[in-house]
Amino acid sequence: MQQAIAVLDSGVGGLTVVKEVMRQLPREKILYFGDTARTPYGSRSPEQVVEFTREIVDYLVQFNPKMIVIACNTATAVALEDITSRVSVPVVGVIGPGARAALGRTRTGVIGVIGTEGTIRSGAYEAALNRLSGGKVQVVSEACPGFVPLVEDGNFRSARTREIVEASLATLRDTQLDSLILGCTHYPFLAETISETMGPGVALISSADETAREIRSILERSDQLAATADGAPLHQFFCSGDPAKFREIAQTWLGEQIRLTPVVWQVPHIGA
């Protein structure tokens, strides 16, 4: 039986990573979990995000995945080290890859970061960018808590979406940044409106592409991990909330039918 790459997110945002993994690594089986019942994570405490991430990983390990991808910036910021210490397989986050991609694109050294309140509050992107650049970049950050609910509702292009995006990015538009990290995997769903708001001089950086490349690099360095089976793999998707809404968004984004299993959590405090 082919071992899967397990990808988890607070909701549908991690599907942006899944789409890129499917493109770059078409032979790899994906096991996806979207915690749609408890999204968004950005307004929750770090302790609660760590707890939720542990619960999802504990659920996914029953399927014996060969790698775990935390495709949620908030969870990556506060739970990556914890999860890495708890499992025996490689664990990949999205902040490091996103920071590297931005450094490769910026010309002025002024990089913007938008994300959830939790991600921005953690300072994880600023730390990664300064570490990777030797402190040679200027980082301008802005929390955009209104974006995730739009995506989870499937509201990607509307007058209301434009209004929220323009209001959220008003401060950043007055800066001299030339690259903007979409520091939440939900945000690529809104990329068209974000790009129109920021203008053609600002490159949008999604961590999805770079994260998929990092996954591929890990697989190539470990021959025993790479998929060898011919033919298209059968991916599996799980969600903790409304399966109909999840399926609609996933099929629109991925362009294919998905095998979806709604998950009813048995732990009493979950969903609180």
Contact yes or no for 144/168 (Cβ under 8 A): yes
Residue 181 has phi, psi (to 5 degrees) of -80, 125
- Point out the catalytic residue in the list 67, 72, 169, 219: 72
Is 144 catalytic? The answer is: no
* Sheet with 203-206, side-by-side order of all strands: 138-143, 110-115, 179-183, 203-206
Is 72 catalytic? The answer is: yes
Could you write out the DSSP letters of every residue in 88-113? SS-EE-SHHHHHHHHHHH-SSSEEEE
Positive/negative CA dihedral, 197, 101, 256, 39: negative
- Point out the catalytic residue in the list 184, 194, 208, 215: 184
* Cβ neighbours of 169 (radius 10 Å): 20
**Catalytic residue list:** 72, 184
